[in-house]
Structure 1
Amino acid sequence: MEQLVKRQKYIIDLAYSTAQEFVLDGKHKEAIPAALQALRFSTEVYGSSSVQLVPAYLLLAEASTGVGHLPQASKYLSQAQWIVLRTPDCSVAVQCKLHRSLGLFCAAEGNFEQALYHLANDVADIWHAFLLKSVQAQEQILKSQPEMSPFTEDKEVSKDCMTEAQQAEAIRVLNAVLDVREQAPKQRPGETARVLHALAMLYYLIMDLSKAREVGMKAFELVTQLPQQESLEAIGRLLKLINSKPSYTK
Structure 2
Amino acid sequence: MASRIIGQAKGKANEVHVFIASGVVHQRADWGSIHEKICQLLIPLRTSMPFYNSEDERQHGLRQLQQRQKHLIEFCYTVAQKYLFEGKHADAVPAALHSLRFRMNVHGLSSVELVPAYLLLAEASLGLGRIVQAEEYLSQAQWTVLKSTECSHATHSLLHRNLGLLYMAKENYEEARYHLANDIYFASCAFGTEDIKTSGGYFHLANLFYGLKKLDLADTLYTKVSEIWDKYLDDRYQVLSQARIQQIDLLGKQFETDTGLDEAQEAEAIRILTSILNIRESTSDTAPQKTIFVLKTLAQEYAMRAFSLSREQQLSDQEQSTIQELLSLISAEETHPVT
TM-score bracket for this pair, using the shorter chain length: 0.5 to 0.7
Which of 225, 228, 232 is the matching residue for 1:199?
225
Alpha-carbon distance in structure 1 between the residues aligned to 2:116 and 2:187: 19
Q: What is the Cα deviation at residue 2 of structure 1?
A: 2.0
Correspondence list, 1:99-248, <5 A: 99-120=160-181, 122-123=183-184, 130-131=193-194, 166=197, 170=199, 173-182=201-210, 194-202=220-228, 204-205=230-231, 211=280, 213-214=289-290, 242-243=335-336
Q: What is the Cα deviation at residue 117 of structure 1?
A: 0.5
Alpha-carbon distance in structure 1 between the residues aligned to 2:74 and 2:143: 23
Task: Tell me which amino acid in the other structure corresponds to 1:243.
Answer: H
Alpha-carbon distance in structure 2 between the residues aligned to 1:180 and 1:116: 8
Q: Which stretches of structure 1, 4 residues or longer, exceed 4 Å deviation after superposition?
A: 124-129, 182-185, 191-194, 206-212
Q: Which residue of 2 aligns with 1:97?
A: 158
Which of 14, 35, 52 is the matching residue for 2:96?
35
Q: What is the Cα deviation at residue 121 of structure 1?
A: 5.2
Correspondence list, 1:12-31, <5 A: 12-31=73-92
Residue 88 in structure 1 maps to residue 116 in structure 2:
no
Alpha-carbon distance in structure 1 between the residues aligned to 2:227 and 2:132: 36
Once the two structures are superposed, what CA deviation does each residue of 1:141-188 show, in whole Å capped at 9, x if it has no partner?
Answer: xxxxxxxxxxxxxxxxxxxxx5xxx5xx835x4332023235569x79
Alpha-carbon distance in structure 2 between the residues aligned to 1:201 and 1:93: 22
Equivalenced residue count is: 185
Q: Which has the larger radius of gyration?
A: 2
Distance of aligned partners of 1:213 and 1:88 in 2 relative to their CA distance in 1, 3 Å threshold = farther
Distance of aligned partners of 1:18 and 1:183 in 2 relative to their CA distance in 1, 3 Å threshold = closer
Alpha-carbon distance in structure 1 between the residues aligned to 2:166 and 2:199: 16
* Cα contact 1:113–1:184 (8 A) shared by 2: no
* Cα contact 1:124–1:174 (8 A) shared by 2: no
Distance of aligned partners of 1:193 and 1:215 in 2 relative to their CA distance in 1, 3 Å threshold = same
Structure 2: state its 5+ residue gaps. Answer: 1-61, 235-272, 281-287, 294-333
Alpha-carbon distance in structure 2 between the residues aligned to 1:42 and 1:178: 33
Alpha-carbon distance in structure 2 between the residues aligned to 1:119 and 1:174: 8
Structure 1: state its 5+ residue gaps. Answer: 135-161, 218-240, 246-250
* Cα contact 1:197–1:215 (8 A) shared by 2: no
Secondary structure in structure 2 of the residue aligned to 1:44:
helix
Report the TM-score, using the length of structure 1 for normalisation.
0.62
* Cα contact 1:20–1:59 (8 A) shared by 2: yes
RMSD: 3.5
Distance of aligned partners of 1:105 and 1:118 in 2 relative to their CA distance in 1, 3 Å threshold = same
Q: Percent identity?
A: 37
* Cα contact 1:61–1:72 (8 A) shared by 2: yes
Alpha-carbon distance in structure 2 between the residues aligned to 1:124 and 1:197: 19
Secondary structure in structure 2 of the residue aligned to 1:107:
helix
